[in-house]
Amino acid sequence: MATIKKRSDSYLIRVSCGYDIKGRQIVRSMTWKPEKTMKRGQIEKELNRQAVMFEEKCSKGYQNSSVKFETFAEQWFEEYAKPNLRNTTYERLLTLRKRVYGAIGHLKMDKITPRHIQMFVNSM
């Protein structure tokens, strides 16, 4: 269930997306700002629609677009690679981190394109 909090001229929508492997709650949030021409009833209706859409995104594995590749990869190493891969494979991947992070680690996940990947492969 989404929680909605009114700010000065916008609304904060917060949604729980479950729990991480350490048992901490994962909370995602977004800000929605109504158009100045909207009436009170329209704002309420659209706000509820935005909250439902955001909640659906979270339930389908929504990934915040502001997450950098390096942060995402570190989370993947902890949550997936460490428990599921052989130790030798895991250790080898850890040694490659510095090279990969230097090339694309600073990019946000939604900004990585096939061209970035191809440029990295070509540089190898």
For the stretch 60-108, pLDDT in tens is 665 556 688 898 899 889 889 999 999 999 999 999 999 999 999 999 8
| Domain assignment of residue 64, yes or no | no
Contact 66/108 with Cβ under 8 angstroms? yes
Same domain, 48 and 75: no
Coil, strand or helix at 16: strand
Region 7-31: mean pLDDT is: 85
The boundaries of the domain holding residue 77 are 69-123
Place 26 in a pLDDT band, splitting at 50, 70 and 90.
Answer: confident
Same domain, 95 and 118: yes
Same domain, 40 and 74: no
The reported pLDDT for the residue numbered 42 is 93
Same domain, 18 and 48: yes
Same domain, 48 and 74: no
| Domain total of the chain | 2
Same domain, 15 and 53: yes
